[in-house]
Amino acid sequence: MVDYLNLAKTYQTPLYVYDLAHITDKFCAIKDAFRARKSLICYALKANSNLSIIHHLATLGSGADCVSIGEVKRALKAGIPKYKIIFSGVGKSDSEIAQAIESDILFLNVESEAELKRIEHLAQSAKKPARISVRVNPNIDPKTHPYISTGLHENKFGVDIEQAKSMYIFAKNSPHLEAVGIHFHIGSQLTELEPLKQAAQKIAELAHSLLALKIDLKFFDVGGGIGIRYSDESLIDPYQYAQAILGALYGLDLTIICEPGRFLVGESGVLLTSVLYEKHNGKKRFVIVDAAMNDLMRPALYNATHKIECVYRASQDTKESLCDVVGPICESSDFLAKDISLPPLCAGDVLMIKNAGAYGMSMASNYNTRLKPAEVAHIGGDVRLIKHRESIEDLIKDEALLLQEHRSKGAQ
């Protein structure tokens, strides 16, 4: 058992704490589910891009799904081999594309005709053919929160099936492009299998017709999106998920790529926070804590729910009442939980916000000049600091430009 109170004392709060053994279990569950086929699990870095977390996954054999050249660099730095790295995203800049080609990663997921032409041009300049895969938008409702749905035509992601076909033909006719894969990703925090199954079938049909055109695909990239349980959501079983994909792939000899983010790291992490005050506005009870929306944005951004448990409480009184748990930021949307039941709390008590391993620290900001939390990871009783708490010096060091000019003028 991890001594969370001791961690909070040692490293201060707010503090992210990750269980690496849990990440291992999740990785093995998904890898194992696909054992009937060749598969590559490409961890979606954006869920949690701490180098130590990526490195841990690298040691398990994971690849990386990156959405910026910065993430590609993180993946390489953390020890993920270049031939296991893919680069996705609707708005890659020329410089990002050029660097990705130069880095010789597995492939780029292309999201528009215009992007394909940019890639061709940049590959020609680099005198290095670019390996690509087209992200197809299957126009399927993933039945998740609208902000994390990506597989409908009304979302900005991917291209429709007809457009995809003409892009593959364009790539086939270009000496600078090599189409190696086909890709879809319909959304995040998916709790139903059916939309994924339908998407896989639609894209598999397209893959068949491309192979008939002698477009020699090798990879079938099914994206990520498997949900986790924040409160009482139903869950997609990894084995059934894999079966649904494998079923759709009947007759296609392709390596499966799967890009889970949240599924691998979401449940592994908690955010520890200390109570600062309790207050009542009329009948409304607020628990004010030292973590805020800048540390964990999901409640403010998606109205997401995270369970909260007490790690340490001074009071013996166990009578619970409803409250909002809120942070110190000057925004009404700065809450971590609404209308949850907690016992009386006072300054110094420690709370644990659960399932905060994905889209927690990776979305953290410095709003209100708050310093980003520290992160620790534990495995088999061994606890390691994996990111220092940010300091005010770290935060402002790149902003002092004019101040320095003024100072040196003053000195003349």
Ligand X SMILES: *Cc1c(COP(=O)(O)O)cnc(C)c1O
- Nearest position to ligand X, beta carbon: 261
**Residue 262 assigned ligand-binding role:** yes
Binding residues for ligand X restricted to 30-49, rule: CB under 6 A: 44, 46-47
Of 165 and 262, nearer to ligand X (C-beta) is 262
208/229 Cα distance (integer angstroms) = 35
**Phi, psi at 254, each rounded to 5°:** -125, 145
Coil, strand or helix at 390: coil
**Of residues 52-91, those binding ligand X (CB under 6 A):** 65, 67, 88
Q: For residues 340-369, which are near ligand X according to CB under 6 A? A: 358
263 vs 335, which CB is nearer to ligand X? 263
302 annotated among ligand-binding-site residues? yes
The minimum distance between CB 238 and ligand X, in angstroms, equals 12
Tokens of 230: 């924040």
By CB atoms closer than 10 A (0-12, 13-18, 19+), residue 131 is buried
Cβ-based nearer residue to ligand X, 92 or 185: 185
Which of positions 195-214 make contact with ligand X (CB under 6 A)? none
Q: Check whether 367 is labelled as a binding-site residue.
A: no
Residue 323 annotated among the catalytic residues of the structure: no
Catalytic residue among 42, 258, 323, 330: 330
Identify residues 252-271 at the interface with ligand X (CB under 6 A). Answer: 259-263
Q: Tell which one of 158, 224, 344, 373 touches ligand X (CB under 6 A).
A: 224
Between residues 188 and 273, which has the closer beta carbon with respect to ligand X?
A: 188
Q: What is the DSSP string of 189-222?
A: SB--SHHHHHHHHHHHHHHHHHHHTT----EEE-
Give per-residue burial for 248-282: e unless 16+ CB within 10 Å, then b. Answer: bbeeeebbbbbbbbbbbbbbbbbbbbbbbebeeee
**What is the rounded distance in angstroms from the CA atom of residue 50 to the CA atom of residue 74?**
8
Q: Measured from the CB of residue 79, what is the shortest distance to ligand X in angstroms?
A: 20
Residue type, 108: L
Asked if 148 contacts 173 with a C-beta cutoff of 8 angstroms, the reply is: no
Residue 168 assigned to a binding site: no
CA distance 285 to 189: 31
Q: Which tokens go with 96? A: 């990002």
Binding residues for substrate: 262, 298, 302, 331, 359
Instruction: List active site positions.
Output: 330
Binding residues: 225, 259-262, 298, 302, 331, 359
Binding site for ligand X (CB under 6 A): 44, 46-47, 65, 67, 88, 185, 188-189, 223-226, 259-263, 358
